Amino acid sequence: MAMLTVVTENVPPRLRGRLAVWLLEIRAGVYVGDVSKRIREMVWEQVELMAEDGNVVMAWASNHESGFEFQTYGKNRREPIDYDGLRLVRYLPCFDK
């Protein structure tokens, strides 16, 4: 089991309801929980199926150098990049929706 955080923007209510089945919504669009890898993968499948034009980031505790991993879905000004094996986030100067 590992701590999982999911942050959503502009996703359909049905996805928000689905996320609330496994995670606690602590703020609008912000979900947390302590789940297994299997549940984390199931949550991400639901994101890919239902997020439509919204965007989502999911982060979880791991034994990597940074102590966590993350993945994203949809367009956002924050873009994940790999820098010498370390995942960082680049902030894009302009963004077309």
Interatomic CA distance for residues 2 and 8, integer angstroms = 19
Query: Tens of pLDDT along 22-42?
Result: 999 999 999 999 999 999 999
Side-by-side strand order, sheet with 55-61: 24-27, 30-35, 2-9, 55-61, 68-73
What number is the average pLDDT over the span 70-85? 89
pTM: predicted TM-score of the whole model, two decimal places: 0.89
CB atoms within 10 A of CB 97: 5
Interatomic CA distance for residues 78 and 67, integer angstroms = 20
Query: Tens of pLDDT along 79-96?
Result: 888 888 788 898 888 756
- The domains of the chain are located at 2-91
Fold of 2-91: Alpha-Beta Plaits (3.30.70)
First and final CA of the chain: distance in angstroms? 36
